[in-house]
Amino acid sequence: MTIAIVAAMHEELSALLAQMPDEQRVRVAGRDFWVGHLNGQAVVAVLSRIGKVAAALTATVLLERFGVQAIVFTGVAGGLAPGVRVGDVVVATRLLQHDLDASPIFPKYEVPLTGHARFAADTEISEALAEVAAEVLVDPVALLGQKVVDDFGLRLPAVHRGLLVSGDRFVSTAAESAALRLALPDALAVEMEGAAVAQVCHDYGVPFAAVRTISDRADDEAHGDFTRFVSAVASRYSLALVGAWLAALPPPEDDEAT
């Protein structure tokens, strides 16, 4: 079984590649796909690029060219729901494109001709990632260091499960954030790629999961020290979560035997 690990940011991909002892680069569609192993599992690691089209293309290449059997997306997101704070982790149960509207021909948010607005993440993978995240976040100081925890105010980070929404714009004003909460009151966080990858995986019948670190509250302070947060917090979260999840999977030979 080969698993795709898709990172949204260069810093996250670099952290993953540093732990892959045998990665080999394969360049397709202007992207570098890194084929190798991580914690004993066969993986293909790749940078999605930003936005729904770029992410969908990346997912399609992973499925068509590399034949991966599952895709896990890691990255950052802006918190929407009350209580979803900077430093928390959101594991998606469903994903929706908040900027898709083909009404009145189709219901708002529904992907035309599919009958779906909300695409389900794989339950088994998502539950496993949520369990791993809860364990990793017990001691953020051990993972990040006291200074980083203090600088970003990462007190008792939590794991949330629920709706993740995606769109082709960076939500960075209080007005935009409030509008999303009003339109989609159960949305936990907003980002720019996940729902597109979920749609592709749905069409191919391949398991998909998304785990996002909350970097901001998708409001007027969203710009903040974003680059440092990705490097000091999100990339370490992603490596720890994905690494622990892969390490807990059955060894490849056992998997093939079943």
The active-site residue, picked from 11, 12, 23, 88, is 12
Tokens of 257: 């035997």
Q: Is 225 a catalytic residue?
A: no
Helix (DSSP H) and strand (DSSP E) numbers for the chain: 10, 10
The active-site residue, picked from 22, 193, 216, 225, is 216
Element (H, E) at 241: helix 235-248
Pairing of strands 70-79, 187-191: antiparallel
Q: Is 12 a catalytic residue?
A: yes
Tokens of 140: 């953020």
DSSP 123-179: HHHHHHHHHHHHHHTT-HHHHH-HHHHHHHT--S--EEEEEEEE-SS---SHHHHHH
Instruction: Write down how long the chain is.
Output: 258
Q: Any idea which residues carry the catalytic annotation?
A: 12, 216
